[in-house]
């Protein structure tokens, strides 16, 4: 064990080593820059038979390793790549491996809400542990109990405050009597955190799903938004159907300008086109999932993408030095 340069911290592991999967290369690069590091060289090849091959170009033996990989589209490729990278590092005798997964797939499959269905969120956490992850980091899972699926320790972070700070500073001064609208009752508690941070009231959309397809039916608005600016909040925007229904409902209830805030820009299928067509004045999101340039172009001038890289970089540094992460958030 070596004495750390701060003089009072004992370091348990070797140096920080950062490895990037191919799911979020730009984010990984920004984290590396924040930490004043290079990404460790590795080769990732997909053979003609679709098998994935990983090779580390330098040794990770005895090091404190962080694998940065988001698991959005292509979900199964990115997940397998992450698992194989973790196993490769384990076999190379890395001292500690942390899976840094800004967006963790299958987070919605967190309970049996009907007979004869899987709990895939639990399966994914089991796979990460079996592959050899010692710790994990992720942002804003759909359900908080996902933390309980892991037997290994981890840092579950939120980008909510980053988004509300941005809205407070750059957007709220121009808003008229703003009110936060949660897209469904399941998001009510998290929506309240937005409302508290922004110091505004909250309204809710009560939504009734029919069947298992991605289409849902937004029905009633609980709360008063007439003549007020509205900030629609959600944890992710996937196909855009919940968002377009929310916009529809708030318009019918007399909303003035409409804003949209969400953490994970999944943007499946033609979601970006749908958002571009909606009367949304401005959107605020993060880079937990990379947005392809052609989709960004559709939303140009109407979307702000805040980077989680410095927060993640700082959490990685603190995890490495054995310092509190909670202190970053005054907790």
- Give catalytic residues, as residue numbers: 207
Nearest to 160 by CA among 191, 134, 132: 191
DSSP class of residue 39 equals B
Residues 48, 32: Cα–Cα separation, whole Å: 31
Nearest to 257 by CA among 285, 232, 240: 232
Which residue's structure tokens are 């708030």? 250
For residue 184, the Cα-to-chain-centroid distance in whole angstroms is 19
Nearest to 167 by CA among 312, 282, 59: 282
Q: Could you tell me the two tokens for 135?
A: 């710790």
Q: Which are the contacts of 139, defined by CB distance < 8 A and separation ≥ 6?
A: 102, 103, 156, 157, 158, 159, 263, 264, 286, 288, 308
Residues 97, 76: Cα–Cα separation, whole Å: 21
Q: H helices then E strands: how many in the chain?
A: 10, 16
**Element (H or E) spanning 294, and its range?**
helix 293-298
Are the beta carbons of 78 and 69 closer than 8 angstroms?
yes
Residues 62, 2: Cα–Cα separation, whole Å: 13
Q: Could you tell me the two tokens for 157?
A: 């972070």
Q: Which are the contacts of 79, defined by CB distance < 8 A and separation ≥ 6?
A: 71, 105, 124, 127
Beta bridge mates, 140: none
Supply the Cα-derived Rg of the chain in whole angstroms: 21
């Amino acid at each position: 064990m070596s004495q750390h340069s701060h003089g009072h911290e004992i370091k348990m592991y070797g140096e920080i080593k950062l490895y990037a999967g191919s799911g979020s290369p730009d984010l990984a690069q920004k984290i590396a820059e924040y930490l004043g590091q290079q990404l460790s060289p590795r080769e990732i090849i997909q053979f003609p038979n679709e098998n994935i091959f990983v090779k580390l170009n330098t040794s990770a033996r005895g090091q404190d390793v962080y694998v940065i990989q988001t698991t959005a589209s292509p979900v199964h490729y990115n997940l397998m790549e992450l698992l194989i990278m973790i196993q490769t590092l384990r076999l190379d005798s890395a001292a500690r491996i942390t899976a840094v997964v800004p967006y963790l797939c299958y987070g919605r499959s967190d309970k049996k809400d009907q007979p004869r269905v899987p709990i895939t969120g639990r399966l994914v956490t089991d796979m990460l542990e079996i592959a050899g992850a010692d710790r994990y980091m992720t942002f804003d899972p759909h359900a908080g109990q996902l933390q309980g699926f892991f037997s290994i320790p981890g840092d579950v972070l939120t980008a909510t405050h980053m988004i509300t700070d941005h809205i407070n500073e750059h957007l709220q001064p121009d808003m008229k009597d703003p009110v936060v609208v949660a897209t469904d009752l399941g998001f009510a508690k998290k929506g309240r955190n937005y409302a508290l941070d922004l110091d505004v009231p909250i309204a809710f959309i009560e939504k009734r799903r029919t069947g298992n397809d991605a289409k849902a039916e937004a029905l009633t608005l609980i709360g008063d938004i007439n003549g007020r600016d509205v900030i629609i909040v959600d944890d992710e925007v996937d196909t855009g159907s919940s968002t377009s229904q929310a916009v529809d409902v708030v318009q019918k209830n007399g909303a003035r300008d409409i804003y949209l805030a969400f953490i994970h820009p999944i943007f499946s299928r033609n979601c970006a086109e749908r958002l571009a067509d909606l009367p949304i004045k401005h959107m605020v999101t993060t880079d937990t999932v990379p947005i392809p340039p052609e989709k960004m172009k559709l939303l140009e001038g109407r979307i702000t993408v805040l980077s989680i890289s410095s927060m993640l970089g700082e959490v990685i540094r603190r995890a490495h030095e054995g310092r509190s992460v909670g202190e970053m958030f005054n907790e």
